[in-house]
Amino acid sequence: MKKKQDLVVIGGGPGGLVVASVAAQVGLRVTLIEKSERLGGDCLHSGCVPSKTLIHMARTAHVARRGAATGLLSVMPDIDYNKVIDRVEQVVDRIQQHDDPERFRGYGCEVRFGAARFISPHEVTVGEEIISARRFVIATGSMPAIPPIPLLEQTGFETNETIFKRRSLPEHLAVIGGGPVGVELAQAFSRFGSQVTVIEAADRLLIHEDAQTSQLLQEALEEEGIHVITAAQVAGVRRAGDARQIALEDGRTVECERILVATGRRPVVHGLGLEEAGVEFGRQGITVDRRLRTSQKHIYAVGDVCGPYPFTHMAEYQAGIALANIVFRTPKKTDYRVVPRVVYTDPEVASVGLTEAEAKKKGIKYHTAEFEMAGIDRAITDGHEQGRARLLICKGRLAGASLVGAHAGELIHELALAMQANVKVKDIAAMVHAYPTYAQIHRRTINKSYAHLLQSKKVRFLVWMLNRILP
């Protein structure tokens, strides 16, 4: 049986769902094909949603523990990790309702479950059916990248795809990888009561952030009792009963009960028949232009499968670009100049724009503005004084920003909007910020960086003259 559609979307994650729902609502004949048995993708089932639920509950446990330590609570409440996972599943199930296939069918979108494979540039198969279409969008996402560590498969390990299904709390968890996923889950499990060791091959955590940001976070994690090992290559692993041992190339060993591998992601490109479709791809995923067209101009790709950022908000942004080109025939192009990124540790880490290393590499002249979170009254009242703001200012405008501290993921958006709208930093400082709020850190950071001008000879002379000339 053969069917002809206007658009076929392969992948039912955030990017694919946005494209399919909008295209169907405006009247196109759309088929959405998802390989698994449910919509929502990695973000809903093994990424953002379960991890942030786990992190929130771990923070609650941490606050309770601090309350017991300071005498605010008489005893430390017992943690039932089985109920923690119950809560994670409840949250996933609730949000899953937004991605109910019937909702999309109500928009007029055909939803099919099964593996899609191109058999020609204009045809895919799903089950026994052949579907042809004028245009396609590939949104198959990514999966954990597993390093070639000797005996890792035989020893057994967890990834973000399996860790949220485990109902027992490991006594000692070793996390291989010090990127966002690694540090987030390391802190969460530590706060539930696991002994945690993080092993990172690079010389610091969060290598895509500024070095000072990485250092601040590492200090915060170590203060909570997490053991961080950097500049360490894993030589191999082995298992003895329920225990596991990780051997490092420098001769050190790490004993643990469970291993979590968090060494990045790789795009899901194999098994799609991209060769038959004539779509170019490589290790970094499918090659696209700024309009998100592949080497076959009627085939588009969005999200992790094409990069450059493995964020849900990036997949949704790219879906909008693809829709503009496919549905509304507007030649819209991607602009990655302003992409906020957040690491949901405590304190949170949030950034936008260039890092200092990137600014230096590009030869951009800038000056830095910094302010400690400990100088913000709301942070003091809440007991969240860890962290700081660091801005890169070029010709009076933001070139980049990084925040470490409570609510950094929320605070970064004011700076992202300022960059998007090309607002001068003096206008950020001039805006009235409510007191007491964490957002005051933006104004305080900028004002501090220009405070030296008030004491300059020129300004003092100008003030002296004005106060003698004018009545």
Share of the chain above pLDDT 90, in %: 89
CA dist 137 and 120 (Å) reads 15
pLDDT the model gives residue 13: 97
Contact assessment for residue 260 and residue 174, using Cβ atoms and an 8 Å cutoff: yes
pLDDT the model gives residue 453: 62
- The angle formed by the CA atoms of residues 249, 250 and 256, to the nearest 5 degrees, is 70
pTM here is 0.93
3-state secondary structure of 172: strand
Fold match, 152-264 / 341-454:
no
Fold of 341-454: Enolase-like; domain 1 (3.30.390)
Max alpha carbon distance in the chain (Å)? Answer: 91
Cα Rg for the chain, rounded, in angstroms? Answer: 25
Contact assessment for residue 312 and residue 16, using Cβ atoms and an 8 Å cutoff: no
pLDDT the model gives residue 256: 97
pLDDT the model gives residue 19: 98
pLDDT the model gives residue 210: 92
Characterise 405 by phi-psi region: left (phi > 0), alpha (psi -120 to 50), beta (else). Answer: left
- The angle formed by the CA atoms of residues 441, 208 and 143, to the nearest 5 degrees, is 120
Q: Could you tell me the CATH superfamily of domain 2-39+100-144+266-326?
A: FAD/NAD(P)-binding domain (3.50.50.60)
pLDDT the model gives residue 380: 97
CA dist 367 and 339 (Å) reads 21
pLDDT the model gives residue 1: 60
Q: Where are the domains of the chain?
A: 2-39+100-144+266-326, 152-264, 341-454
**Architecture of domain 152-264 in this structure:** 3-Layer(bba) Sandwich (3.50)
pLDDT the model gives residue 468: 78
pLDDT the model gives residue 454: 62
pLDDT tens for 390-433 read 999 999 999 999 999 999 999 999 999 999 999 999 999 999 99
pLDDT the model gives residue 277: 98
CA dist 294 and 279 (Å) reads 6
Which regions in the chain score pLDDT beneath 70?
Answer: 1, 68-70, 74, 451-454, 459
